[in-house]
Chain A
Amino acid sequence: MTSGDLFLQQLINGLNLGAMYSLLALGFTLVYGIMELINFSHFNVFMVGAFIALGVLKLMGMDGQTVILSGLPLIGVILVTFVVTMFATGMIGVGIERVLLRPLRAVTGPAAMILTIGVSYILFNIILIGVGGDTRNFANPLPSITWAFGGANLRLRDVLIWFIAIVLMLGLTYFVQYTKLGKGMRATAQDPEAARMMGVEVDSVVGLSFFIGSALAGASGLIFGLYYNYAKVDMGFSAGLRAFTAAVLGGIGNVPGAMLGGVLIGLIESSSSQLIGQAWADVIIFSILVIVLVFRPAGLLGRQAPNKS
């Protein structure tokens, strides 16, 4: 491989990781934007999403890399898996908010954030007990179609991941920007009390932000499975921390920021692991987290005065 090929391959891999981190980062940012809450249960909603996707694929007869589909059946299986997974994780997010967080809504201070850490461990242990701690092979029904660009390979899987991430992000952008509920969400993020007095039902906006964020975490978990071909109970922590870093890098609370931050973190991870070794990727990513928090706490696209005007 020439260095040009290497660069291209890193770019392809980085964009896959970026798609995964962006979708996951959006959940942190949506919930933070509405309630100023860092939702640590998000890490493991992502992990649960990967296992739900694995289960759905298994139910449809997909197992390991033995069943390969093409054409309409392939599209159908992928579509059903995404929709079911996203709906299921979305409902898990809604349930966490409705049952556990809503009673704490009026409580100021870190109680709600600490609760989300607890919920994260509960989800972890549910999967640990129910499925076990082993690495599970993730079914991948995609044919191994590959386009070679010099020494770099672009696979059908990569194109699919990008396509799905782009569709979801465009859909979210449209929703937040142009629909009535989306505007209610933005208004609530900017001034919750004023939004209530305009007639926005804050409970439904909060529930909606959990649904959307968690559904996107489910999509991200499925993308993880398609990319790495496995799911494992501890997969949520490192991916979640990187996605959280992405959200902070882009400006937590800022939707385009989370998308940009996710792509940047994905590119940084892929290039640093190829250039200086996998072990250094996290060092660099978390150094970025620290540097951003110290020098530009509002993030790349955030407002520099992080007050609620």
Chain B
Amino acid sequence: MPRKRLRRGATPMAKPDILLDFSGINTYYGDLHALKNVSYTIERGEIIALLGGNACGKSTTMKTIMGVVKPATGTLTFDGESILGLSPAQRVMRGIAPVLEARRLFPRMTVYENLEMGAYTRKKGADYDQDLERVYSLFPRVKERRNQISGTLSGGEQQMVAIGRALMARPRLLCMDEPSMGLSPLFVEMVFDIIKEINKQGTTIFMVEQNASMALSIAHRGYVLQTGVVVLEGDARDLEANPLIREAYLGEMKVDADAE
């Protein structure tokens, strides 16, 4: 695969350096139309926030990118190549890794085994050791707890393991589904700091969040999803200032689907 990428890299790409292009996607669960002609473009190096209320298709977006949910129509390219035909395993190998909603650690495996699962598609070796050290240095607590059964950790500790597990795939795109959900304010702060740090180290981040103010404060750009439709998108600073966002996500009121 790296060989293929080099060859592609030799041909000049379109000006914005697009890492993931999610375009005109329609996803269904039976009769339920969960994503309605949805498009996102994610450039290399960005932090993108995906905002939206409950059950509007945020997790479906993440699962569509990971390949556990198949869209009916639309295109999805990573690094300029379509990944729609690839299995989740192949997508992980290309460099996409998930931090799942509600952590979803393997509860009866140890912390270390969970980290190993993050590197499931890779061989162990110098790179693996290096990534393990990176995770341990980002999260000293994870190192301390490495032999503990992960189901016995606190929510905040589990989130650190979940992020560490994703980093073990050495991803170029990290897809995070509500990383701050259910965490105490202290951990929320810490998780957002870590996300910024991981991004600084070179990983592109696509992050679903209900905590809109925090998410927009670290994001470069954002999208707002409402019942399967992207109703707003733009620069994070503009979104923060947008009155609709201020009402709906930074305050409490609802926006009409046709408010766009």
Partner-B contacts on A (CB < 8 A): 180, 183-184, 186-187, 190-191, 193-201, 309
Contact (Cβ within 8 A) B151 A197: no
* Cross-interface CB contact of B88 among A184, A191, A197, cutoff 8 Å: A197
B-chain residues with CB within 8 Å of residue A190 when the two chains form the complex: 106-109
Residues A186 and B89 in contact in the complex (CB < 8 Å), given A193-B68, A196-B68 = no
Residues A183 and B109 in contact in the complex (CB < 8 Å), given A197-B98, A200-B120 = yes
Q: Give a binary string over B93-131; 1 marks a CB under 8 Å from any A CB, 0 the rest.
A: 100001010001011110001001110110000000000
Contact (Cβ within 8 A) A183 B113: yes
Contact (Cβ within 8 A) A309 B87: no
* Cross-interface CB contact of B120 among A193, A199, A309, cutoff 8 Å: A199
How far apart are A70's CB and chain B's nearest CB, in angstroms?
A: 45
A168 and B219 alpha carbons, distance in the complex (Å): 54
* Cross-interface CB contact of B100 among A180, A194, A309, cutoff 8 Å: A194
A200 and B117 alpha carbons, distance in the complex (Å): 9
B-chain residues with CB within 8 Å of residue A199 when the two chains form the complex: 88-89, 92-93, 120-121, 169
Contact (Cβ within 8 A) A187 B107: no
Among A186, A193, A194, A199, the one with the most B-chain Cβ atoms within 10 Å of its Cβ is A199
* A-B contacts besides A191-B106, A197-B66, 17 pairs, CB < 8 Å: A183-B120, A186-B108, A186-B109, A187-B109, A191-B107, A194-B100, A194-B106, A195-B117, A197-B92, A197-B98, A197-B100, A198-B117, A198-B165, A199-B89, A199-B93, A199-B120, A199-B121
Partner-A contacts on B (CB < 8 A): 66, 68, 87-89, 92-93, 98, 100, 104, 106-109, 113, 116-118, 120-121, 151, 165, 169
A198 and B114 alpha carbons, distance in the complex (Å): 10
A193 and B165 alpha carbons, distance in the complex (Å): 15
A184 and B100 alpha carbons, distance in the complex (Å): 17
A193 and B89 alpha carbons, distance in the complex (Å): 12
Q: Considering the complex of A and B, which 3 residue pairs feature the smallest CB-CB distances, nearest first?
A: A199-B121, A199-B89, A199-B92
A81 and B109 alpha carbons, distance in the complex (Å): 36
B-chain residues with CB within 8 Å of residue A187 when the two chains form the complex: 106, 109, 117, 120
Residues A183 and B116 in contact in the complex (CB < 8 Å), given A191-B106, A194-B100, A199-B88 = yes
Give A184's nearest chain B residue, CB to CB: B120
How far apart are B64's CB and chain A's nearest CB, in angstroms?
A: 12
How far apart are B83's CB and chain A's nearest CB, in angstroms?
A: 14
A194 and B62 alpha carbons, distance in the complex (Å): 12
B-chain residues with CB within 8 Å of residue A186 when the two chains form the complex: 106, 108-109
28 residue pairs from A and B, CB less than 8 Å apart:
A180-B120, A183-B109, A183-B113, A183-B120, A184-B117, A186-B106, A186-B108, A187-B106, A190-B106, A191-B104, A191-B106, A191-B107, A193-B68, A193-B104, A194-B100, A194-B106, A195-B106, A196-B89, A197-B98, A198-B117, A198-B169, A199-B88, A199-B92, A199-B93, A199-B120, A200-B120, A201-B87, A201-B89
A309 and B151 alpha carbons, distance in the complex (Å): 9
Give B92's nearest chain A residue, CB to CB: A199
B-chain residues with CB within 8 Å of residue A180 when the two chains form the complex: 120
Give B100's nearest chain A residue, CB to CB: A194
Give B168's nearest chain A residue, CB to CB: A198
How far apart are A236's CB and chain B's nearest CB, in angstroms?
A: 32
Residues A198 and B120 in contact in the complex (CB < 8 Å), given A183-B113, A187-B106 = yes
How far apart are B48's CB and chain A's nearest CB, in angstroms?
A: 19
